[in-house]
Amino acid sequence: MYQTNNPIIKHKIGLLNLAEELNNVSKACKIREYPEIRFIATRNLLTMVG
């Protein structure tokens, strides 16, 4: 589970956590109405940083 105090990326972290909870990236993106390709880019960026 990811956590942050940065308000700019807080909603993206929420999406990552939802996908982890559902064990389904596609479903999480549909629920949040977020493009799956942007989700994958965000996840990859956070993996490199963290």
Domain count, the chain: 1
In a domain, 40, yes or no: yes
In a domain, 1, yes or no: no
Q: What is the pLDDT along the chain (50 residues), one digit of tens a residue?
A: 677 788 777 878 888 899 999 999 899 999 989 898 888 887 888 788 76
Q: How far apart are CA 21 and CA 8, in angstroms?
A: 22
Q: What is the pLDDT of residue 50?
A: 60
In a domain, 2, yes or no: no
Backbone φ and ψ for 4, nearest 5 degrees, come out as -160, 155
In a domain, 3, yes or no: no
In a domain, 28, yes or no: yes
pTM value surpassing 0.75: no
2 with 43: CB under 8 angstroms?
no
In a domain, 24, yes or no: yes
Q: What is the pLDDT of residue 11?
A: 79
Q: How far apart are CA 39 and CA 33, in angstroms?
A: 11
Token pair 């999480």 is at which residue?
28
Q: Indicate the Cα dihedral angle 34, 19, 47, 12, nearest 10°.
A: 40
Q: Give the residue numbers spanning the domain of 37.
A: 10-49
